[in-house]
Structure 1
Amino acid sequence: MRTQVGIIGAGPAGLLLSHLLHLRGISSVVLERHSRDHVERRVRAGVLEQGTVDTLVAAGVGDRLRREGLPHQGIELRYGGAGHRVAFEKLVPGRSITVYGQQEVVKDLIAARLADGGDVRFEVDDVIPHDLDTDRPYLTFGGERLDCDFVAGCDGFHGVSRPSIPAGALTEYEREYPFAWLGILARVRPSAEELIYARTDRGFALHSMRSPEVSRFYLQVAPDEDVAAWPDERVWAELKARLETVPGFVLAAGEILEKSVTPMRSFVAEPMQYGRLFLAGDAAHIVPPTGAKGLNLAVADVRVLTEALALWYATGSRDALDGYSRTCLSRVWRAQHFSWWMTTLLHTFDSEDPYGRRLQLSYLDYVTSSEAAAATLAENYVGLPFEQSPTPGGLPPDHFA
């Protein structure tokens, strides 16, 4: 077999890259080790930046997003017995976020690729990249071989792409946090119209949602927490203790559909390319979910990669490909800092560090009382504008402005 771009991983990064390349007349094959059902059901991020929404809509895969997504014009920071709203409509006019589950984005992209005759292969075993430092890379899998011009590693932090790069070719930066998140998906109507980020002495809590009937919650827990230690009664009791801290707020409880523990880490691999292998999304970088940046960074990566590949096929110029990592990393490190900042601002660290707790509260007071500080949070939360605008389907470059 032969294609122009071999893509490892059918998550949002790999599927969106395949779709954007298709719109530019560039062929690809997507190889995914899990089943389609698994990929479409795994619950991940749910906050889409303005630029991510614009990208999906412009690429023709945003119809259901527009119908079912929940646009939000702000978030609430809750601490010290009071709630403080960060108003996007005032601080960053014309820009907002949309709550729409990552698995829904994946469903939309799979449907679009298959409708267009795209080659997306699930339950593929033993994908191995070869000859990445030549102009004839190829992938082997399940006894087959796929020749291609380029390989895109979109297979996540634990995938095969990054380990395929020779030792010493990458510099890896990593930070692990002394806590994890217990994620809860519940069939219950959200108790608030916008996301609530709650900082308490008991630990952090987040009230989010996936639809008008399904809510998503997170609790700060120990990094080695056993999900079996959290029966439903304990979950609801702790959520109420951390969220019912302002007068009049009552948290609605319901059937819990899923529980899982997510470790908190920051990670960046530099550069995000080796030879003709280009890393995108979680294969290249991880952020703690506090800043809601993981999925959005993946979209930003594949926008840049799409343009670079389109330029190479159109003109033979490698300039954009050679600059791929540099372009992506400028946004990645900004998102790393913002995610670290939100994490350290809202979580409980050493219980014996009263100095650190006072610093947290002081900065929370500053963010909620200074319009300039709140604007910085809002600007980063809704997503910084894209400097480079891909043109899927022939849309003019200023479509994304």
Structure 2
Amino acid sequence: MTIKNITVLGSGIMGHGIAQVSAMSGYNVVLRDIEKQFLDKAMEKIKWSLDKLVSKQKITEEQGKEIFARITPIVDLAEALKDCDLMIEVVPEIMDLKKKVYAEVDKVVPEKTVFASNTSTLPITEIANTTSRPERFIGIHFFNPPQLMKLVEVIPGQKTSKDLVDTTINFVKSVSKEPVVCKRDVPGFIVNRLFIPLVHEAAYAMDRTGATKEEIDSAVKFTLHFPMGIFELADFTGMDVIHKATIEMHSRDKKVINPHPMIEKLYNEKKLGQKSGEGFYKYSGEQYERINLTEELAKKFNPIQLLGNILNNAAWLITNKASDVQEIEKALLLGMGLKKPLFETAKGFGMQDIVQELQKLARENKFYEPDPYLVSLK
């Protein structure tokens, strides 16, 4: 399976980012959207990004022009797919919308084209089964922004061929990214399965302990070795993204997430985080602001319950043969920026104490029942 020509469906932040990294690696790229104005805006952003790389002397001016010339914006769907080897779909995370797009694509796409969806939470198998080629369909989840983030989750559906998994891994490496394979099409895949439930758990921890957001975030940053606090990270990601992922994951597996009403409340109040000026925290300007977190504040909160939550979901992935420790650590390092391996941090806390903490919480709510893999480590 040779990939030379790529069509990216959707020209938003992720779409034009994926188009840019593909063109930078020598692929011919068609960027497709439903209106020319969306494409014009996307091409402007790509040009700005390439100019920035030229000014930083990462690429020459000539290279910048060549890369830009490899991306062709097209509105007409049939024309956009005419000679496509790999189609990467980056339309919004709404299952009905994706199904509608694939129904249109199926009518005009060449026989040789393989399908990839950049979804971060929707089941690959379910989307694949709406198409004429489920064995030639795969999940390829780039992280935002694709130009900077190294991690790409590769998610085979139930019918995806082994050849396509290998081809996709090679494609990801060819665009200078690091693939992590989620071996089973489970809700949230790897990173979101660990990250999204943790936001809810932090809100419960605030209820249980009376700790402040800043104390919890400081402990997450300095004791659990995250690049920023969990509430801060939620604000950075956007409450709209977190709320939507929560609904998707929880509707498919009640065991993955214990939804805290605060997330839905913030979403309903349009307090979406950094982008709207308020989420868990308030922000004053357009510029991305960091919350003042300190090691002093970190000492005031013990994040063992949060650690238990993320470890329990990691253990679930291992027990259910969706991943292994090495791949999970790679995903957390590249996808969430953890500065120390998760299981190493857990050893410092004592696995027995973590399991006991989960068992204590499970007496109130079965959701916290420790996974057998975690119990085996204590």
Note whether the superposition's TM-score is higher than 0.5.
no
Bigger RCO of structures 1 and 2 (CA < 8 A, at least 6 apart): 1
TM-score, length of structure 1 as denominator length: 0.33
Larger proportion of strand:
1
